[in-house]
Amino acid sequence: MDESLDRKNLIVMKLLHYFITEQNYNPIILQGAEDEIWLENLESDYKVIRIVSNHIHNDEQLDFDLYKSKHILKKIKKKTFSLKMKALNIYTDLGDNVELKENGDIDCIYLYDEKDIKNYDFLYKYFPDINNKLKFSEEGLQLFIKITNDINNKNRNDAMKAEEVFKPKKNIVTMVLIVINVLIYAYMTLSGKWEYIVNKYATYGPSIVHGKEYYRLITGAFLHANIIHLVFNCYSLYIIGTQIENFMGRWRYLVIYFVSIITASLLSIVLNNTASIGASGAIFGLMGALLYFGYHYRVYLGSVLKSQIIPLIILNLLIGFMNPGIDNFAHIGGLVGGCLASVGVGVKYKSTKFEIVNGIIVLVLFIAFLTYMAFHYI
């Protein structure tokens, strides 16, 4: 019995070492889960790895175990906004008459020890180095110490990265943008040139396309119709902007903000026949950025995405559609532009170069399409 426990503990530890330190999986905390370890990596083909060390006596117990796995996977899928979730169940203790079979999105393997990896050729497609990485020169206590230290160091580094991303920082850019909006409105009001400035600098398609006043694509986002309009936008900018500046960093924030202004203005002049002013298009772009960031960190922000971010976006769009005085096309243009700009600048520690390059390409194509529509159909 002691030999069996040692054998199971050894293979479980080796698997944990490989998936955590080499494949960037993280443990999932599940209440009531005994003799099983759940790991997640939402960027991997197998988004969930489940290592089961309790003894499975027969096929009926295996069927119940798989039923339980599918039930938990549904909850994880819902929480992480995953449309599809492929999982790998690794069993380390099966009865002699237990037969593993295909189970939809759950692949099952049995590893008595690491040598059994060779029985599952399909694993090399997803984890080509798994065979070599499960081999260690250390044995006994030295192996236990090495594996424990490596896993602890990996978890410590991941925790430091998460802390760096989420820790509060000075929100200088957001405050500067708010001050600029307030000062411009104060000048418009106190100088008595409100009407002149709006006529000269508002986002207005014919003036931009035919009058070649391209600066209007940007300047309209810094003008406001009245004090309520200004206060509402500045408050929204403070609430959402501070989050994006904190999570994404200042230069990414600035890129997202001004790209959102441009895409909001372009879609507005394509589909809206009137002049448009206000920072709301850029603010919707920041909402799009928050949505994209939250998706990458959905293990941390999954509940916030579902209960706050998505409902906030939907509610504001609905308000825009119900109020004819609101330029909802600018909101939609900003939202899409903010999402694409976020893909293009990337999320720290999460985005790959491939994703960033694709994001830049799609963003450029989106802006080019809006520009073509604006300058050929107005």
Give the Å distances, CA to CA, from 219 to 199, 205, 357.
11, 13, 29
| C-alpha neighbours within 13 Å on the C-beta side of residue 350 | 22
Asked if 97 and 58 count as a contact pair (C-beta separation under 8 A), the reply is yes
Owner of token pair 């694709």: 358
Ramachandran region, residue 288 (left: φ > 0; alpha: ψ -120 to 50; beta: rest): alpha
The number of helices, as runs of H, and strands, as runs of E, in the chain is: 16, 5
Burial letters 283-309, b for 16+ CB under 10 A, else e: bbbbbbbbbbbbbbbbeebbeebeeeb
d(CA 268, CA 320): 13
Owner of token pair 């529509």: 373
Instruction: Give kind and range of the element (H or E) at residue 332.
Output: helix 328-345
Instruction: Give kind and range of the element (H or E) at residue 49.
Output: strand 48-52
* Four-CA torsion 203, 208, 211, 215, nearest 10 degrees: 80
* Beta-sheet pairing, 106-110 with 48-52: unpaired
* Four-CA torsion 126, 129, 132, 137, nearest 10 degrees: -110
> For residue 139, what are its two tokens?
């044995």
Length of the chain: 378
Q: What share of the chain is helix, strand, coil (3-state, %, to 5)?
A: 65, 5, 25
Q: What is residue 349's three-state secondary structure? A: coil
Beta-carbon contacts of 85 under 8 Å, excluding residues fewer than 6 positions away, are 47, 48, 73, 76, 77, 105
- Is 44 part of the annotated catalytic residue set? no
d(CA 275, CA 263): 15
Phi/psi of residue 37, nearest 5 degrees: -125, 130
- Is 331 part of the annotated catalytic residue set? yes
17, 224, 296, 331: which one is catalytic? 331
280, 296, 342, 351: which one is catalytic? 280
Active site residue ranges: 280, 331
